[in-house]
Amino acid sequence: MVDAAELVDVKLVKSSFDLQPAFFAASDEVAFRYGCDLESSTYDQDSNFLIGEIAVEAGCKLGRRWVLKVRSSYVVAFSVAGKPPAEAAKAYLERVGRFTAYPYFRAHFAALCSAAGAEVPPLPVLKGNLPRRIFERAAAKEVAASAE
């Protein structure tokens, strides 16, 4: 599959940034986290396109409270030669799609933090498996609240 796929495009499609004033008061005490996950994938064998949405997150916690949160979603598109099985295409996106989107997020995160005057170290260069999601999904909280 690696020889059969060629990157066509990477697009930032969603982004959110939340910085609490408490970050500036205790920036030396924050715990830094980051994560990345494949949100969805589509493989069209007729058009030979493999598309995935990659969710990337990074932030800082002060105690139990998030004081910096950045969430972004990227769409990555690959042109695929041949007709690999759909399972192989999705597995490719899970491995390679995350590595494809992460450098874009790393630059985006640095630009947002710099614009806000939040001095944080650069996100690490990806060398292995990237941690999965770090923030709770809002949908899960909304579902729990509506059940009460």
Q: Which burial class, exposed, middle or buried, applies to 68 when counting CB atoms under 10 A from its CB (0-12, 13-18, 19+)?
A: buried
- Whether pTM > 0.85 for this model: the answer is no
Report the candidate in 3, 96, 8 with the shortest Cα–Cα distance to residue 44: 8
Distance, in Å, from the CA atom of 114 to the CA atom of 99, rounded to the nearest integer, reads 23
User: Confidence class of residue 78 from pLDDT cuts 50, 70 and 90?
Assistant: very high
Q: Is the pLDDT of residue 142 over 50?
A: no
pLDDT in the model for residue 132 = 66
User: Mean of the per-residue pLDDT values for the chain?
Assistant: 83
The token pair at 11 is: 């697009």
User: Which positions ≥6 away from 122 have C-beta within 8 Å?
Assistant: 106, 110
User: Confidence class of residue 27 from pLDDT cuts 50, 70 and 90?
Assistant: low
Tell whether the torsion through CA atoms of 9, 100, 93 and 131 is positive or negative: negative
pLDDT tens for 90-104 read 888 888 888 899 999
What is the rounded end-to-end Cα distance, in angstroms, of the chain?
A: 47
* Average pLDDT for 24-33: 81
Domains of the chain, each with CATH number or no CATH: 5-147 (3.10.420.10)
pLDDT in the model for residue 125 = 81
Report the candidate in 88, 94, 90, 89 with the shortest Cα–Cα distance to residue 129: 94
Report the candidate in 20, 99, 98 with the shortest Cα–Cα distance to residue 60: 20
Distance, in Å, from the CA atom of 106 to the CA atom of 113, rounded to the nearest integer, reads 11
% of the chain at pLDDT higher than 70: 83
pLDDT in the model for residue 114 = 95
Q: Is the pLDDT of residue 136 over 90?
A: no
